[in-house]
Amino acid sequence: MKELTVDATVENIEVVTDFVNEQLEALSCSMKAQMQIDIAIDELFGNIANYAYDPEVGPATVRVEVVDAPLSVVITFIDHGVPYDPLKQEDPDTTRAAEEREIGGLGIYIVKKSMDEISYEYKDGQNILRIRKNI
């Protein structure tokens, strides 16, 4: 398991992405899976950066674990910000034209559809969001 703690800022999305990609490259992860994970990081860490501590800045930890059977990567995002479960948000109606839909919610919807598993819990004053992607 590898772990990185940085300030939850939009500027650190690239730092987090590079950190995770380093682990993925060591696993010979496919480019498709890596791109899906990169999009998930952008969405999830971006939400933490924009909303968890607003208007302040606080720490966020990103943990990368490799799991066997099936070979997969589990990425955990941990922050001490305002409790928020993005999985409770209703999925957008993708059958409607973009201009007819409510603003927001599409990013987490894409993450839910592209990851093999996603879970959230609020425990000991921490938001803990996990995604798992089979490699």
Residue 89 confidence (pLDDT): 78
* Rounded distance between C-alpha atoms, residue 115 and residue 60, angstroms: 21
Task: Give the CATH number of domain 2-134.
Answer: 3.30.565.10
Cis peptide before 92 (omega within 30 of 0): no
Residue 107 confidence (pLDDT): 83
* Average pLDDT of the chain to the nearest whole number: 91
Q: Read off the pLDDT of residues 100-111 as tens digits, 9 standing for 90 and up.
A: 656 556 789 899
Asked if pLDDT for residue 93 goes beyond 80, the answer is: no
**pTM given for the model:** 0.91
CB-count burial class (<10 Å; 0-12, 13-18, 19+) for 111: buried
77 forms beta bridges with: 62, 129
Sign of CA dihedral 100, 105, 110, 113: negative
Parallel/antiparallel/unpaired status of strands 126-134 and 72-79: antiparallel
Residue 37 confidence (pLDDT): 98
Please name the residue that has the structure tokens 């300030």: 7
For residue 73, what are the CA distances in angstroms to 8, 20, 40, 121?
Answer: 22, 10, 13, 19
Residue 98 confidence (pLDDT): 60
Residue 90 confidence (pLDDT): 75
Q: Read off the pLDDT of residues 19-47 as tens digits, 9 standing for 90 and up.
A: 999 999 999 899 999 999 999 999 999 99
Under the banding of pLDDT at 50, 70 and 90, the label for residue 92 is low
Would you give the DSSP letter of residue 49? I
Asked if pLDDT for residue 48 goes beyond 60, the answer is: yes
Contact 81, 127 (CB under 8 A): yes
Higher pLDDT, 95 or 130: 130
